[in-house]
Amino acid sequence: MENVIEIKNLIKQYKEVRAVDDLSFEVHSGEILGLLGPNGSGKSTTMNCILSLLNYSNGVIKIFGKEMKPDSYDLKSKIGVVFQDVAVFDELTVYENIDYFCGLYIKDKEERKKYVEDAINLVGLGDFKKFYPKKLSGGLLRRLNIACGIAHKPKLIFLDEPTVAVDPQSRNNILDGIKKLRSEGATIVYTTHYMEEVEILCDRVIIIDNGKIIASGTIDQLKKLAKIEEKVSVEVNNLDVQHMEKIKEQENVDEVTYDGNVLLVTYKEGKNNLVDIIDYLKKESIKYNKIYSERPTLNDVFLELTGKELRD
């Protein structure tokens, strides 16, 4: 499979702090790669090094088979970047903003006009062409930000938290747009803290922490890393500590929590866990409402690999 990005032995050193520590990975043509990590893990630094926005201490970065440098304008013209912070001009309308950013790469007026319209249609801003950014909602502003970054039809797109703080309707629109970009041949590097988005979008995932890759693979491959076989949730009132202790003593049980009248039992393995917990509740004459079972999620894997401690 053709590699759009190749990174070998990348190191970024800040005095005593090594923000990126000997990273090596590839991004394949036509895929959506999820680049994940807690705050301060090194993923933003990695992205900035790839884009030659930061000098790095050691390593080689190639994009489309060529070494990426600050003056690699031929490569940069094929790249679209949408950062988390919205970066548009308040003095320009929606159409004028997209036209300006597209014009940095597409000089032919007729071709640029078509590209701008395509970008507007992709993010669903057709009814807002003449609006100024200050008149847009947060979700519309995010969509404008994306349109400005991808209007020139780049082959490689970096999306950094593109759905942060938007309503569900805007989020769905953005996710649908990202799928369409991939279907049109774009390769996408995607960062987010919303694990459900990663499960929906990404073909492969790389998890970074402390500047190192701690896991990589498909969603299914990563889920196998979790030391969790099953999670059972039960709505039950007034469950006392003694019952929780007895449940925890059952075979295969890893963890038991009770919060907001919801009993959550995590199992390390086993196939009859749901039956076992129902049998226990009936035996103890404990009344319960809803009960359901689920497999480990990507969020479970992420927390297990990076820890549950709060990050700055």
The CB density around residue 211, as the number of other CB atoms within 10 Å, is 23
Please check whether residue 80 is in contact with residue 43, taking contact to mean a CB–CB distance below 8 angstroms. Answer: no
Q: Is 211 contained in some domain?
A: yes
* 275 and 180, same domain (yes or no): no
In a domain, 183, yes or no: yes
196 shares a domain with 116: yes
128 and 54: one domain?
A: yes
Domain termination site, one of 223, 258, 279: 223
pLDDT digits 0-9 by tens, 101-122: 999 999 999 999 999 999 999 9
Sheet holding 204-209, edge to edge: 79-82, 156-160, 187-191, 32-36, 204-209, 212-217
What's this model's pTM, rounded to 2 decimal places? Answer: 0.87
User: Residue 270's pLDDT is what?
Assistant: 76
**Do 123 and 174 meet the contact criterion of CB atoms below 8 Å apart?**
yes
Is residue 312 situated within a structural domain?
A: no
Over range 113-141, report the average pLDDT: 96
- Please tell me whether residues 141 and 249 are part of one structural domain: no
pLDDT over 80 (residue 285): yes
pLDDT score for 312? 64
Q: Which of 147, 197, 201, 161 is nearest to 32 (CA)?
A: 201
Whether residues 262 and 165 share a domain: the answer is: no
Q: Are residues 125 and 252 in the same domain?
A: no
Residue 123, both tokens = 């993010």
Q: For the segment 37-63, what is each residue's pLDDT rounded down to a tens digit?
A: 999 999 999 999 999 999 999 999 999
Instruction: Give the whole-number percent of the chain exceeding pLDDT 90.
Output: 84
Q: Does 305 fall in a domain?
A: no
Q: What is the pLDDT of residues 218-275, one digit of tens each?
A: 999 998 887 778 899 999 998 999 999 999 999 899 999 999 999 999 998 877 889 9
Q: For strands 230-236 and 212-217, give the pairing.
A: unpaired
| Higher pLDDT, residue 310 or 165 | 165
Domain that residue 255 falls in: 230-295
User: What would the two tokens of residue 26 be?
Assistant: 């590839």
* Number of domains forming the structure of the chain: 2
Write the CATH number for 203: 3.40.50.300
- Residue 39, in any domain of the structure: yes
Same domain, 83 and 207: yes
Quick one: pLDDT at residue 182?
A: 96
Q: Say if residues 43 and 35 touch (Cβ distance below 8 Å).
A: yes
Whether residues 181 and 48 fall in one domain: yes
pLDDT at 223: 87
CA–CA distance, 240 with 247 (Å, rounded to integer)? 11
Digit-coded pLDDT (tens) for 143-164: 999 999 999 999 999 999 999 9
The C-alpha angle with vertex 185 and arms to 166 and 30, in degrees rounded to 5, equals 85
Inside any domain, residue 302: no
32 lies in the same domain as 111: yes
User: Does residue 44 sit in the same domain as residue 192?
Assistant: yes
Residue ending a domain, choose from 203, 223, 243 = 223
* Residue 307 within a domain: no
Residue 37 lies in a domain: yes
Location of structure tokens 């807690």: 38
The whole-number pLDDT of residue 310 equals 66
